[in-house]
Structure 1
C-alpha cells in the first residue's frame, strides 16, 4: 500500500514538471512583415520554456517601431511587435546640367531614377540608377555635346571659328567666299544638340547664278503735225504732203538670260508700225475733208456778191478796153 501511494505521487510530480517545461516550436513570421530571424536564432533547434529569440528587418528595410524579441511561454511565442519600413535613399547628389525623373516609389528602396541632361548635353555614366539598401547605384553626369572639326568649302574658307579643335554645342563657324564667287545659304553654321552642323553654305560663280525673270517694256510714240489754217486764202490748191512720223517701240531687256527670241522682237516692231500707219491714215483723211469743205465755201462766196449782172458786164468791158 505504501509503495502504491509513492509511485502515484512520483507520477503526478513528473507530469507536473514535464508540463511546466514544455518547448516552443521554431518561430515563424509572415512574409509581408519584412522581418527575419537573426543568425543566432536560425542556428537553434530547441526552444524550451522561457527561450527568447531576436528578429531583424530584411535587406532594404529599417526598424520603424516595436521590440525585436519574442519569448516562449507555456509552449507559445509572444506576439512580435517589430515594424519595418523601406529605407530612403534620398535625392541623388546634384550635378551641373543634370536632373532626375523618379518612378512611383520616389526615393525609397527599390525605386529607379532616370538621368536627364539639359539641351546640348549628354549623359555620361548611368542613364538609370537604382535605390539599394546601401544607397543609389552607379554615377551619372552630363557633358556638353561636341561636333567634328569644321571643314572648308569649295571656293571659300572659314573666316571665324572658336579657339578649340572640336566646337561645342552652340558654337558658331562663319564662312566667306573667294573673289568672283558668291555665298549661297547662311553665312554661318552652328553646332547643334545632336552633334551635327546645320547645312553648309556653298560658294558659286557669280556668272552661274540664274537671273530673275526679265520684264519687257515697249513704248510707241506717234507724232503727227496737222497744217495750221488761218485764212481761206492760205489753203493751197495743190495736194498737201503730210508726214507721219512713227517711232518704233523701244524694247529694253535686262540680264543675260532674257529668253526673248528675235521673232518676238520683230513681231512687236511690226505691231507698233501697223498701229502708227493706221493712225496716220485716219488723220490724213480728216484733214482732206476739212480742206474740201473750206474750199467749197470759198467758191460759193465768190458767186454770191449781190452785184447787178449788168454792172458786172460793164466792168468787164472796161477792163478789156
Structure 2
C-alpha cells in the first residue's frame, strides 16, 4: 500500500516535468504580418497555447487564419496572408489633376498638377499612407497686377476683379485728337504678366509718316568717236566706243499707314533725286617703234600717210601759184614783162 502511493506521486511529478518541457518559444514574425498586442505581452507559451497575428501597418488581410497553436513544443503553420492597402484616386479638386507613376497602393506617391493659368498651393506630391493620402494641395488662379493707366487715354473694358485673373482682357481707348500707338488691348497670361505693354496715345499733329521710295529708271547712251590723227605718235587704229551716261530718277509715293512700324514720331529728312553722269576719254595709241610694242608695219603705215598728206598740200600750193600767175597776165601787169609800146598802142586804140 505504501509503495503504490509513492509510485503515484512519482508519476504525477514526471507528468508535470514532461509538460513543462513542452512549452513553445516566442513566435517569430516575418513579411507583412506582426503579433497582436496581447501576444506580445505573453511571456510563456505552454503546450496547447495559442498566439495571434495581424497584418502590418498599411496592409490588409487577404485570406487565412490569424492564430497558431503550440503542439509538442512547436508552433503550427501560419496561414494568414496580407496585401498592400489601396488608397485609390484622391478626391477631385477644381483645376487639379494627379500623375500616378507608382500607382495608388500603400507607399506610392502621386504628383499634383494644376491647369494652365493656375498655381499650386500646398505640397507638390501626396503619399499613400495607412490612413490615406497625405497633404491637401489645391490650385489657385493666376492674377496680374492692376492694369496700368495711360496718358491721354482711358480703360474702356476690364474684368470685374480688382486684380485681373488669367485670361482677363483690358482694352484701351485714346482721347479725341490722339492716335493709339500699339495694341489696343492686353491680356493676363499664365505667368502673371501681361502679354504686351500698354499702348500709347500720341497727338495726331506730332505723327510723321514714313515716305516710301518705289521706283527708279536708268537711261544709257552710247556714242562712237571717229579715229583722229594728231601726229605720228597718236594714231587710233580702230574706232572705239568711249562714253556712257546714266540718269537715275527717284520718285516718292505719298505715305500710307499699314502698321505701327510705318509711323515716325519725329520729322525726317527725305532725299528727292539723284543724277549720275559718267564719261570716258577716248583711248589713244602712242607709236614709238618696237620698244613700245608697235611693229614695223605700223610705223611704215604712219610714214606713208604723212607723205600722202604732204604731197596733197604741195599740189594745192602749186595750183594756186599757177592760177594767180594767169590772172595777172590777163590784166597786163608790168611785173610779168609786157612791152611798153604795146601798151601805148592799146591805149590809143581805146581812145579812138
Give the superposition deviation at 1:128: 1.6
Alpha-carbon distance in structure 2 between the residues aligned to 1:136 and 1:53 = 33
TM-score by length of 1: 0.63
Q: Which runs of 5+ in 1 are unaligned?
A: 221-248, 272-321
Alpha-carbon distance in structure 1 between the residues aligned to 2:82 and 2:129 = 16
CA root-mean-square deviation:
3.2
Q: Which residue of 63, 68, 71 maps to 1:70?
A: 68
Give the superposition deviation at 1:260: 1.7
Alpha-carbon distance in structure 1 between the residues aligned to 2:101 and 2:126 = 11
CA shift digits 1:226-268 (9 cap, x unpaired) = xxxxxxxxxxxxxxxxxxxxxxx9976746645226xx56x58
Match of residue 45 from structure 1: 43
User: Going by fraction, where is strand more abundant, 1 or 2?
Assistant: 2
- How has the CA–CA distance of structure 1 residues 76 and 101 changed in structure 2, closer, same or farther, with 3 Å as cutoff? same
Alpha-carbon distance in structure 2 between the residues aligned to 1:210 and 1:250 = 18
Match of residue 23 from structure 2: 23
In the alignment, is the contact (CA less than 8 A) between 2:153 and 2:174 conserved in 1? Answer: yes
Q: How many residues align?
A: 234
Match of residue 259 from structure 1: 270
CA shift digits 1:255-289 (9 cap, x unpaired) = 6645226xx56x58x99xxxxxxxxxxxxxxxxxx
Q: Which residue of 150, 156, 162 maps to 2:153?
A: 156
Match of residue 141 from structure 2: 144
Alpha-carbon distance in structure 2 between the residues aligned to 1:251 and 1:29 = 100
Q: Which runs of 5+ in 2 are unaligned?
A: 220-248, 256-266, 279-352
Give the superposition deviation at 1:59: 0.9
In the alignment, is the contact (CA less than 8 A) between 1:214 and 1:258 conserved in 2? Answer: no
Give the superposition deviation at 1:86: 0.9
Give the superposition deviation at 1:110: 1.0
Alpha-carbon distance in structure 1 between the residues aligned to 2:67 and 2:88 = 30
Alpha-carbon distance in structure 2 between the residues aligned to 1:95 and 1:204 = 48
